[in-house]
Amino acid sequence: LSVVSASVAWASGTRGTVLRTTDGVRWQAISVAGAEKLDFRDIHAVDGSTALVMSAGPGAASGIWRTSDGGGTWRQVALNSYPEGFWDSMAFWDAGNGIVFGDPVQGKFQVYVTADGGLNWRELQASGLEAQKDEGSFAASGTAVAVSGARDAWIATGGAQAARVLR
């Protein structure tokens, strides 16, 4: 769920589900062409017209779509190119700057960032993203990453001997 105001909110779910309200009462079901079999696990809304939705799944089942016309059309703006990858969460500091977090690939967590409202994403190659044995994250709710201020991000993990919060 991504709430923009008292009247505007967007929601996402399984089998390509996207919902939007612009009056806070009536919800509109919106179709994302080609995504009917995907599980949308995170959504970020900028306003009543612009939103990004993230699917979670192995490899190419993890992707991001963006609309700027209230869900009339969607453009895929990111796709997980690692067959063993699995994206878990997405968060935005503001309308332009965002982050996507995914389970480890080759021993390092996947982290992607955008500075243009989600139109383009680049993978971060940073130290401190090394995963412990059996460590992963939580994809069911899109809440494994949280942001604050202009640049701080916190990432929750689990599955290993000890859960961690990365900053």
**Dist CA 127 CA 129 (whole Å):** 6
pLDDT, residue 140, reads 67
Helix (H, G, I), strand (E, B) or coil at 108: strand
**Residue segments in the chain with a per-residue pLDDT below the cut of 70:** 140
Query: Alpha carbon of 90 to those of 27, 36, 155: distances in Å?
Result: 23, 20, 10
Pick left, alpha or beta for residue 84 (phi over 0 → left; psi -120 to 50 → alpha; otherwise beta). Answer: alpha
Q: How far apart are CA 78 and CA 87, in angstroms?
A: 11
> Please, where are the H alpha helices in the chain?
none
Question: pLDDT digit string (tens) for 108-123?
Answer: 999 999 999 999 999 9
pLDDT computed for residue 17 by the predictor: 92
pTM over 0.85: yes
